[in-house]
Amino acid sequence: MIAYSAPGKIILSGEHAVVYGRPALVAAVNKRLKVKLAPAKRKEEKTPEWKQIESVVFEYLNSERIDFKIKDYKIDIESDIPVGRGMGSSAALAVASVACLLEFFSGKRFEKELVNNLAYKIEKYFHGRPSGIDNSASCFGGLIFFRKEFEFLKVISKLNFKIPDNIQSRLYLVDTGKPKESTKQMVDFVGSRLNENPSRIRLIFSEIERASKQMVVAILKEDLELFAKAMQKNQDLLERLGVVSKRMSQRLKVLQDLGAYKITGAGGLQEAVGFVLFLDLSGEGERFLKDQGFSWSRLKFDQQGLVRL
């Protein structure tokens, strides 16, 4: 039996702009997806998604003339990453599955870089035009400053510092529910806004880039106020981009009185916007979230990324 596990992620700053070559800051979180493959006597019926994952792996093994044996197997997937809420569940599936299949068929273990490149191909099948940030966070873990320069060149800088305690201890994940729109639809929506009004949208992307860099500085300097400022600035810009539904935008505004907040991931147009990152500066956050009927959890980060079990 071969098993790998990969974490989910949250984008601290820079979602959407990252699709267009701007940098973003992402962190792997301590929610994981586990894939187990065990030899089987009979062929199992596979989903179209799984067939796609398998074909990417076979294509790679064939193109590199790596020896491998085709064998029947049973798949077992377990996950505590919420699906469709901006926490990178599909990326974690792609990363853990690629690692498992490569080893199952070839008997060899592969570098994370290679697993990440193949997982990116799968993400493109799932989401159309992803930046590659989700699979990179899941594969490498930790805190990553990510920038896609070209389709074939992504700068994935794993930062050698962590989110300091004075910030982490005030961070919450607030669940607004599963957006009606998929990540692909949200990315397409921003694409159409960019076509309609390139100069305005590019200006928003430039300001998002500034907020993302400000957030890196805030983390490095352990500057809570600067972190809150960068976070709220990023939220305002995402609202201007149109990826936060009017309804949620109004409901969430109350959180600003207690600190700062932003959506994390692709957002939503009609109602729910997935998970929202909330920084409580007041010390009243938990009570307030409860009174307002929000569902929330504490946020913990992951340093390991892809792990062989």
Nearest approach, Cβ of 65 to ligand MEV (angstroms)?
32
CA 57 to chain centre: 22
134 binds ligand MEV (CB under 6 A): yes
Establish if 19 lies at the interface with ligand MEV (CB under 6 A): yes
Q: Which one of the spans 16-24, 167-175, 232-240, 288-296 is the region binding ligand MEV (CB under 6 A)?
A: 16-24
**How far apart (Å, rounded) are the C-alpha atoms in residues 186 and 284?**
33
Give the per-residue SS3 of the chain: CEEEEEEEEEEEECCCHHHHCCCEEEEEEEEEEEEEEEECCCCCCCCHHHHHHHHHHHHHHHHCCCCCCCCCEEEEEEECCCCCCCCCHHHHHHHHHHHHHHHHHHCCCCCHHHHHHHHHHHHHHHHCCCCCHHHHHHHHCCEEEEEEEECCEEEEEECCCCCCHHHHCCEEEEECCCCCCCHHHHHHHHHHHHHHCHHHHHHHHHHHHHHHHHHHHHHHCCCHHHHHHHHHHHHHHHHHHCCECHHHHHHHHHHHHCEEEEECCCCECCCCCCEEEEEECCCCHHHHHHHCCCEEEECCECCCCCEEC
Least distance to ligand MEV from the beta carbon of 307, Å? 21
Nearest approach, Cβ of residue 165 and ligand MEV (Å): 26
29 binds ligand MEV, rule: CB under 6 A: no
CB 6 within 8 A of CB 96: yes
Closest to ligand MEV by CB, 183 vs 235, is: 183
Q: Which listed residue (131, 232, 234, 235) binds ligand MEV by CB under 6 A?
A: 131
Q: Taking the complex as a whole, how short is the minimal distance between the CB of residue 130 and ligand MEV, in angstroms?
A: 3
Applying CB under 6 A, does 18 fall inside the site for ligand MEV? Answer: yes
Residues 296/133, Cβ–Cβ less than 8 Å: no
Q: Considering only residues 86, 179, 285, 305, which one is a binding residue for ligand MEV as defined by CB under 6 A? A: 86
β-bridge mates for residue 76, sequence order = 36
The verdict on 90 binding ligand MEV (CB under 6 A) reads: no
Q: Does 265 bind ligand MEV (CB under 6 A)?
A: yes
Binding status of residue 8 toward ligand MEV by CB under 6 A: no
CB of residue 229 to ligand MEV, shortest distance in Å: 21
Least distance (Å) between residue 16 CB and ligand MEV: 5
Radius of gyration of the chain (CA): 20
Q: Six-digit token pair at 121?
A: 């191909």
Q: How many CB atoms lie within 10 A of CB 214?
A: 19
Indicate the residue among 265 and 285 with the shorter CB distance to ligand MEV. 265
Q: Tell me which stretch binds ligand MEV (CB under 6 A): 77-85, 129-137, 219-227, 296-304.
A: 129-137
Size of the site for ligand MEV (CB under 6 A): 15
Can you tell me which of 12, 29, 94, 133 binds ligand MEV, judged by CB under 6 A? Answer: 133
Q: Does 268 bind ligand MEV (CB under 6 A)?
A: no
183-212: contacts with ligand MEV (CB under 6 A):
183, 186-187
Stretch that binds ligand MEV, among 52-60, 130-138, 151-159, 275-283 (CB under 6 A): 130-138
Contacting range for ligand MEV; rule: CB under 6 A; set: 9-17, 36-44, 214-222, 295-303: 9-17
Contact positions vs ligand MEV (CB under 6 A): 11, 15-16, 18-19, 86, 130-131, 133-134, 183, 186-187, 265-266
